[in-house]
């Protein structure tokens, strides 16, 4: 009997039959044949590269959500943060205080620390190149064509830091023919976004395209006249992308991609949300605290967020023969990222911090893809290396405490991987894969008290450690009918260990600070069991996919904000957890070019062990960024057809249950388990939110013989949802000072697009 069957027989019996419920009608022999559908009413087949080769989405034995170029445009997807709830089990937040750092969760596992020594749990890939850090991961992808969200561990084909899943961002390829798109979008808060992309005619062996994007928007938080910053929560950035394909030979194709993204704006306002009335260092500070979104701020410190990101990628594809393809993907990316934060959200000089980061990475992926009549294989060798450093000066309480804090990190990671898919029978596919990963992590750390000449962690303090893991995968897929595909999958995921790059405790000795800095935390691992079905109905006019999963995670890496003198964080291997859930997503053609799409996810998380200061407190710690229920429904309607245009409407609704943002204690005053010296998770709980976006467009307007136009009016956050999205809780040592970031208020505007 398997571990899964021993530990949760009740859950297995309840969840495993779920996908088969959706399959049963499709295999009934007595069902009348469906009426032929008009081609325009069928759901378009989507081709994905989730298994490193092109496959139809409905044939891939993995839980994958794919968003087409049309959905990317109509739903306003510009970067990773716009994807939250658009795939089942996917929850994305921007990290507290910032707009360009992501916190991505899939099926309950995430990372919440934005520092560069910390690895994400969800891997982001742009045209096959891995994005190494969460810092700077929210950048505009110009000319985005398709998004693939892979749910569950992808430790075999994708490898490092895909413990919870992976997100593939695929940009448009040059067409080799002259054409292009220009769009202008204007909205409230003086928002103006312009985009242009152009495909050039093929010149010899080269096809090229160039795209650019510029966005500006005033901040929706105004500041007082004597504040150090004139506004907050504004937008100011631009992006550039260049693509070139080289047909070196009929069987040899080179693909070069360059992207650049520049941001120079103010960050999310850390609005004072809560502070104890007996925190008397600054009388009247409680007057600035509010649980409602405010649009006016009083500040005493400079506020900015700047990022400059550049990436180069070159992919070489060689079709050696009809059965074998060799591929090389080389990537190099650099990032310069700076911010300055007034962390107390008031005109008093309570807490101030800055971060100045330089980071670069290099990756090389060599792949061999092949097939016979009944066998497909993928094999590869992978290298990833990065180097980054952050200068993090801080001061507190009117400069009565000033800290010199900095840290640097390096990684050298090597892996080899392979996967085989074998079809012993036409309806049966057996898959097995394995990846071996070896990573060396290096850390340098400095922490001292400015003016006192006292370095608790002196310059030159360093540590290094090598981590390794073997992550297998096995699956069985059964094509019950041409329209019903079921699969059972087992996979393991791995997120590397590391060091506490921000740890500091001014109340402890220098020896204790150095010892904690040099002590590594272990890799986080997950084992996942998944049963799913992918079904097509009504002669291609409906899709319904379902999955249930049962996961076991161990050595969970939890980021604990200490709030002891400095804005310090400790990373701990808390223990073990059981995670299970169910997901459903589908599309339905309503005829005449209209579509209904939906997804729903149920998530159950439970710590089996959580060690804090030597005690197991598993029943008294919050699971972070793990909403129990999430759902999304979108309705894409063709309201009317005219000789020269179509009238279309898009209704896009997303719901996310409440969730905790820190792994703090669940108990509060009056509970015997309550510890008054520690933060309470409920004080930083994001409430359930509902977001409604609307769009009305005159589409497919004929503009001469070669051009098509579109004019759309839109409104985002139609109901003006007013809810906090993230928090920082400084804890009892800071009088439980808590600040919150809020979602954007209602925005609306008009967009014009011309394509030729």
- Say what the pLDDT of residue 138 is: 86
pLDDT, tens only, 55-87: 888 999 999 999 988 888 888 888 888 888 889
The candidate with the shortest Cα–Cα distance to 314, out of 361, 359, 365, 360, is 365
Range scoring the smallest mean pLDDT among 282-291, 404-413, 652-661: 282-291
- Say what the pLDDT of residue 160 is: 82
In the chain the first and final C-alpha atoms are separated, in Å, by 61
What CA–CA distance (Å, rounded) separates 490 from 475?
6
* Enclosing H/E stretch for 15: helix 9-15
What CA–CA distance (Å, rounded) separates 689 from 686?
8
- Mean pLDDT computed over 364-378: 96
In Å, how far from its chain's centre is CA 378?
26
- Mean pLDDT computed over 518-536: 95
Q: Is the pLDDT of residue 690 over 50?
A: yes
What CA–CA distance (Å, rounded) separates 63 from 534?
9
In Å, how far from its chain's centre is CA 49?
18
> Other C-beta atoms within 10 Å of 33: how many?
6
The candidate with the shortest Cα–Cα distance to 46, out of 71, 26, 81, 24, is 71
Residues of the chain with pLDDT > 70, as a percent, come to 93
The candidate with the shortest Cα–Cα distance to 620, out of 675, 556, 561, is 675
The residues spanned by each domain of the chain are 3-755
- Say what the pLDDT of residue 563 is: 57
pLDDT tier at 686, thresholds 50, 70, 90: very high
- Mean pLDDT computed over 651-656: 96
In Å, how far from its chain's centre is CA 624?
15
Alpha-helix runs per DSSP H in 182-254: none
Largest CA distance in the chain: 85
Six token digits for residue 613: 């200061």
pLDDT tier at 561, thresholds 50, 70, 90: low
Burial of residue 756 (CB within 10 Å: 0-12, 13-18, 19+) is: middle
- Say what the pLDDT of residue 200 is: 97
Sign of torsion over alpha carbons 555, 558, 564, 567: positive
- Say what the pLDDT of residue 144 is: 87
* Enclosing H/E stretch for 26: helix 18-27
Range scoring the smallest mean pLDDT among 301-315, 360-374, 449-463, 473-487: 449-463
pLDDT tier at 27, thresholds 50, 70, 90: very low
The candidate with the shortest Cα–Cα distance to 314, out of 297, 296, 327, 299, is 327
Architecture of domain 3-755: Beta Barrel (2.40)
Q: Is the pLDDT of residue 26 over 50?
A: no
- Mean pLDDT computed over 303-319: 97
- Say what the pLDDT of residue 613 is: 82
Q: Is the pLDDT of residue 239 over 50?
A: yes
Q: Is the pLDDT of residue 711 over 70?
A: yes
pLDDT, tens only, 124-153: 999 999 998 988 888 888 888 899 999 999
Over the chain, what is the mean pLDDT?
90
pLDDT tier at 562, thresholds 50, 70, 90: low
Sequence length of the chain is 756
pLDDT tier at 567, thresholds 50, 70, 90: low
pLDDT, tens only, 152-181: 999 899 878 899 999 999 999 999 999 999
- Dihedral angle over CA of 716, 717, 720, 723, nearest 10: -140
pLDDT tier at 280, thresholds 50, 70, 90: low
Q: Is the pLDDT of residue 10 over 60?
A: no
Burial of residue 151 (CB within 10 Å: 0-12, 13-18, 19+) is: buried
pLDDT tier at 451, thresholds 50, 70, 90: confident
More confidently predicted of 653 and 613: 653
What CA–CA distance (Å, rounded) separates 457 from 443?
13
pTM: 0.91
């Amino acid at each position: 009997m398997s571990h899964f069957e021993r530990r949760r027989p009740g859950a297995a019996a309840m969840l495993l039959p779920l996908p088969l419920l959706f399959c049963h009608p499709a295999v009934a022999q007595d069902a009348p044949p469906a009426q032929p559908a008009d081609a325009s009413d069928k759901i378009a087949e989507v081709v994905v590269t989730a298994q490193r080769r092109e496959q139809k989405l409905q044939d891939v034995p993995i839980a994958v959500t794919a968003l087409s170029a049309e959905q990317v445009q109509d739903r306003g997807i510009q970067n990773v943060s716009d994807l939250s709830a658009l795939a089942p089990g996917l929850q994305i937040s921007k990290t507290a205080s910032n707009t360009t750092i992501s916190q991505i969760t899939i099926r309950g596992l995430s990372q919440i620390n934005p520092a560069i020594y910390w690895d994400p749990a969800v891997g982001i890939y742009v045209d096959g190149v891995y994005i190494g850090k969460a810092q700077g991961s929210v950048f505009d992808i110009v000319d985005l064509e398709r998004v693939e969200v892979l749910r569950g561990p992808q430790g075999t084909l994708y490898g490092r830091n895909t413990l919870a899943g992976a997100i593939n961002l695929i940009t448009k390829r040059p067409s080799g023919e002259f054409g292009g798109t220009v769009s202008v979008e204007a909205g409230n808060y003086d928002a103006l976004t312009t985009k242009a992309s152009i495909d050039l005619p093929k010149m010899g062996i080269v096809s090229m395209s160039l795209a650019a994007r510029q966005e500006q928007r005033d901040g929706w938080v105004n500041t007082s006249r004597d504040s150090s910053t004139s506004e907050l929560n504004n937008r100011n950035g631009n992006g550039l992308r260049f693509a070139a394909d080289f047909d070196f030979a009929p069987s040899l194709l080179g693909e070069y991609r360059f992207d650049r993204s520049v941001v120079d704006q103010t960050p999310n306002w850390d609005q004072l949300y809560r502070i104890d009335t007996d925190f008397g260092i600054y009388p009247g500070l409680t007057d600035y605290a509010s649980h409602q979104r405010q649009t006016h701020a009083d500040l005493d410190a400079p506020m900015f967020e700047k990022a400059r990101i550049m990436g180069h990628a070159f992919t070489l594809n060689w079709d050696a023969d009809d059965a074998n393809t060799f591929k090389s993907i080389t990537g190099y990316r650099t990032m310069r990222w700076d911010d300055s934060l007034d962390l107390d959200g008031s005109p008093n000089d309570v807490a101030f911090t800055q971060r100045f980061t330089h980071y670069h990475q290099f990756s090389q992926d060599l792949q061999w893809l092949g097939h016979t009549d009944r066998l497909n294989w993928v094999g590869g060798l992978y290298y990833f290396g990065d180097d980054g450093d952050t200068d993090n000066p801080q001061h507190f309480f009117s400069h009565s405490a000033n800290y010199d804090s900095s840290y640097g990190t390096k990684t050298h990671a090597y892996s080899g991987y392979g996967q085989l898919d074998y079809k012993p029978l036409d309806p049966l596919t057996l898959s097995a894969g394995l990846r071996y990963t070896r990573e060396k992590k290096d850390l340098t750390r400095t922490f001292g008290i400015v003016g006192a000449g006292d370095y608790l962690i002196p310059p030159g303090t360093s540590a290094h450690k090598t981590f390794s893991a073997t992550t297998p995968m096995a699956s069985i897929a059964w094509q019950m009918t041409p329209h019903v595909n079921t699969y059972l999958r087992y996979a393991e995921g791995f997120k590397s260990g590391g060091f506490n790059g921000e740890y500091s405790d001014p109340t402890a000795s220098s020896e204790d600070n150095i010892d904690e800095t040099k002590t590594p935390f272990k890799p986080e691992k997950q084992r996942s069991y998944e049963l799913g079905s992918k079904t097509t109905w009504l002669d291609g006019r409906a899709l319904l996919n379902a999955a249930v999963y049962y996961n076991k995670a161990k050595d969970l890496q939890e980021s604990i904000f200490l709030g002891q003198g400095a804005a310090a964080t400790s990373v701990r291997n808390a223990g073990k957890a059981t995670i299970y859930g169910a997901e459903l997503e589908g599309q339905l053609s309503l005829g005449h070019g209209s579509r209904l799409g939906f997804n729903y996810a149920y998530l159950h998380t439970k710590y089996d062990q959580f060690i804090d200061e030597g005690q197991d407190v598993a029943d008294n710690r919050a699971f972070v960024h793990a909403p129990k229920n999430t759902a999304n429904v979108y309705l894409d309607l063709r309201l009317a057809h005219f000789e020269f245009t179509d009238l279309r409407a898009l209704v896009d609704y997303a719901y996310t249950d409440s969730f905790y943002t820190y792994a703090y204690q669940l108990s509060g005053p009056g509970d015997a388990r309550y510890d008054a010296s520690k933060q309470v998770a409920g004080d930083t709980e994001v409430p359930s939110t509902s977001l409604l976006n609307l769009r009305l467009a005159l589409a497919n307007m004929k503009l001469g013989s070669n051009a098509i136009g579109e004019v759309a009016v839109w409104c985002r956050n139609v109901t003006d949802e007013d809810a906090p999205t993230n928090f920082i809780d400084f804890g009892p040592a800071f009088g439980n000072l808590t600040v919150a970031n809020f979602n954007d208020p209602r925005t609306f505007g008009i967009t014009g697009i011309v394509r030729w």
